[in-house]
């Protein structure tokens, strides 16, 4: 069936708008500041073969790995109309336990098989475990919270109350969790309705042809970029500071091998260290997600985000390593910290093949801060979670000389916003003492690295404070002679006047009136000019 470019562009925009509308619905109806303010969620739509055909402009670390969760849900159960599956198992396509995914099939009238699947993933501010917020320095996954295999949470449009109550009994903030889960279910139903309207508009036969062409188009775009790369192997390595248990650095190594004739690329992570005792282990879905992100970065803004992007890629990882962890490894930090370092390693290797197209290293850490306790204002348990922005690396510019990095911005595998100070102080027993740019933290060079941020939060009650952060020892690297960005730092300012330096990965008990001070890394600088 012949598909012209105009019709394909209309279809691409139509399916993308479904994912975007799902995200808007999720954001408007969620209870937690983490979802409604920070927008720590992602939505996507899949065809009947569980191939992703559109993603919202949401969180890269969610989106690249979500297809594996959808595949796991489809393989685990036979879903009917109105059913919704739920899961968060990192070893079944998930990322880490706070990221809960919902998957819903979409059936056309009279059809016996799903024509689409709609899915969303949202980070919940607590899913149980040893540490409030479920993001602590655990040493096995059972310590990190409740682990949900693919199960049916809604059957025929009716919520399974027994399963839901079971989940809520294992978290610290059940009312907030129930509200956020309900918003995810609602977003699935929005996606279902819009997918049915899409099918009615184009017709089932035409729809199949459009989907296949959209996937093929994505593949062609990536292969064209791969054909423009020099043949050969380009190797790079980088390190995580430690795993929070020992002080030993953790090596990540990749070899990118381009085959311009076939328009293909192989990413081989041989030489990466074994999985760690701490929670910085990344499952294979995370590594695939990072590769997906880097390939997508090479494409233009209008390129469709589909399963076709991964067709030219061969990914090689060794089971039991930091980038392909096996149970019972803890993985909370693998999603947020190791994912960033995997991107840094891929970018560093890519810079050897195409130096005019790759930025210097950005902050390289999501600087995760989690605080939990009992709010003295209400007597209720609270859990606060937020990633903190850092400096962007200096950037090449197509058809231009180059650009400085941006100050205080989320980069690479995260795309969330900050929690506004007004919302923060309203929802939690905190007072924001300082929030601004960490002037001079970006690397120096012809094109400067962006500055990180400084954040100071005063606690208005006793609380457990947990950090998952990196780039304390290994600073964000500059490129082509540009300086590295400044390392990150955190400390607790006690009411006694004592200043306690906090490791990048730790959990401490602080008292009312104490202040948490967080300084995020700046981006690396660059001397190179853009050539495209």
CA atoms within 13 A on the CB side of 332: 42
| Paired strand residues for 245 | none
CB 518 within 8 A of CB 454: yes
DSSP state of 75: H
User: Tell me, what's the pLDDT at 400?
Assistant: 65
Whether the CB-CB separation of 278 and 243 falls below 8 Å is answered with yes
Distance CA 233, CA 350 (A): 10
Kindly give the confidence (pLDDT) of every residue in the chain, 532 residues in length, as a single tens digit, with 9 standing for 90 and above.
788 999 999 999 999 999 999 999 999 999 999 999 999 999 999 999 999 999 988 888 887 889 999 999 999 999 999 999 999 999 998 899 999 999 999 999 989 999 999 999 999 999 999 999 999 999 999 999 999 999 999 999 999 999 999 999 999 999 999 999 999 999 999 999 999 999 999 998 899 999 999 999 999 999 999 999 999 999 999 999 999 999 999 999 999 999 999 999 999 999 999 999 999 999 999 999 999 999 999 998 889 999 999 999 999 999 999 999 999 999 999 999 999 999 999 999 999 999 989 999 999 999 999 999 999 999 999 999 999 999 999 998 766 678 999 999 999 999 899 999 999 999 999 999 999 999 999 999 999 999 999 999 999 999 999 999 999 999 999 999 999 999 999 999 999 999 999 999 999 999 999 999 999 999 999 986 543 3
CA distances from 149 to 91, 297, 485 (A): 9, 32, 41
Block residue for tokens 């590594």: 287
Compute how many other C-beta atoms are within 10 angstroms of the C-beta atom of residue 493: 18
Beta bridge partners of 382: 373
**Tokens standing for residue 528:** 């190179």
**Pairing outcome for strands 463-468 and 381-386:** unpaired
Give the pair of three-digit tokens for residue 107.
């059936």
List the Cα angle 65/67/71 in 5-degree steps. Answer: 125
Structure pTM? 0.96
Tokens coding 474: 């290994």
| Length of the chain (residues) | 532
Question: Residue 131 is encoded by which pair of tokens?
Answer: 């540490």
Per-residue H/E/C for 336-389: HHHHHHHHHHHHHHHHHHCHHHCCCCCCCCCCEEEEEEECCCCCCEEEEEECCC
Per DSSP bridges, beta strands 264-268 and 313-316 are parallel
Q: Is the peptide bond before 227 cis (omega within 30 degrees of 0)?
A: no
């Amino acid at each position: 069936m012949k598909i012209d470019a105009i019709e394909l562009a209309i279809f691409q925009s139509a399916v993308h708008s479904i994912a975007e509308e799902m995200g808007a619905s999720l954001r408007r109806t969620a209870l937690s500041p983490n979802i409604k303010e920070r927008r720590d969620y992602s939505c996507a739509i899949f065809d009947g073969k569980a191939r992703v055909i559109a993603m919202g402009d949401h969180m890269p670390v969610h989106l690249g790995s979500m297809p594996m969760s959808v595949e796991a849900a489809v393989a685990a159960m036979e879903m009917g109309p109105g059913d919704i599956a739920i899961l968060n198992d990192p070893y079944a396509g998930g990322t880490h336990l706070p990221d809960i995914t919902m998957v819903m099939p979409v059936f056309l009238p009279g059809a016996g098989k799903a024509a689409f699947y709609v899915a969303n993933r949202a980070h919940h501010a607590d899913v149980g475990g040893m540490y409030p917020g479920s993001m602590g320095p655990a040493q096995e996954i059972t310590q990190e919270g409740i682990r949900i295999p693919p199960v049916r949470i809604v059957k025929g449009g009716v919520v399974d109350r027994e399963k839901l109550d079971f989940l809520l009994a294992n978290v610290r903030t059940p009312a907030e969790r129930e509200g956020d889960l309900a918003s995810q279910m609602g977003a699935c139903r929005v996606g279902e309705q819009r997918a049915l309207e899409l099918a009615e508009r184009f017709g089932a036969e035409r729809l199949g042809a459009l989907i296949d062409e959209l996937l093929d188009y994505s593949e062609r775009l990536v292969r064209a970029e791969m054909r423009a790369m020099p043949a050969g192997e380009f190797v790079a390595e980088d390190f995580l500071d430690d795993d929070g248990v020992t002080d030993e650095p953790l090596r990540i190594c990749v070899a990118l091998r381009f085959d311009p004739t076939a328009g293909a690329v192989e990413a081989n992570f041989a030489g990466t260290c074994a999985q760690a005792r701490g929670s910085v282990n990344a499952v294979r879905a995370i590594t695939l997600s990072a590769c997906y992100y880097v390939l997508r970065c090479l494409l233009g803004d209008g390129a469709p985000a589909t399963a076709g992007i991964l067709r030219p890629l061969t990914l090689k990882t060794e089971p039991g390593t930091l980038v392909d962890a096996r149970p019972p490894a803890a993985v909370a930090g693998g999603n947020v910290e190791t994912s960033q370092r995997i991107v840094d390693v891929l970018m560093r290797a890519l810079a050897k093949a195409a130096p005019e197209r790759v930025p210097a290293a950005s902050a390289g850490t999501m600087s995760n801060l989690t605080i939990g306790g009992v709010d003295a204002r209400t007597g209720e348990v609270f859990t606060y979670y937020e990633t903190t922005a850092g400096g962007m690396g200096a950037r090449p510019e197509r058809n231009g000389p180059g650009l400085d990095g941006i100050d205080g911005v989320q980069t690479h595998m995260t795309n969330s916003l900050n929690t506004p100070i007004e919302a923060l102080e309203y929802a939690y027993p905190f007072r924001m003492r300082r929030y601004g740019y960490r002037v001079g933290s970006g690397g120096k060079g012809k094109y400067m690295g962006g500055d990180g941020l400084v954040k100071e939060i005063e606690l208005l009650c006793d609380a457990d404070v947990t950090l998952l952060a990196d780039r304390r020892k290994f600073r964000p690297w500059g490129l082509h002679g540009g300086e590295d960005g400044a390392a990150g730092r955190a400390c607790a300012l006690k009411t006694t006047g004592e200043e306690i330096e906090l490791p990048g990965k730790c959990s401490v008990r602080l008292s009312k009136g104490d202040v948490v001070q967080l300084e995020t890394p700046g981006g690396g600088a660059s001397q190179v000019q853009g050539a495209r």
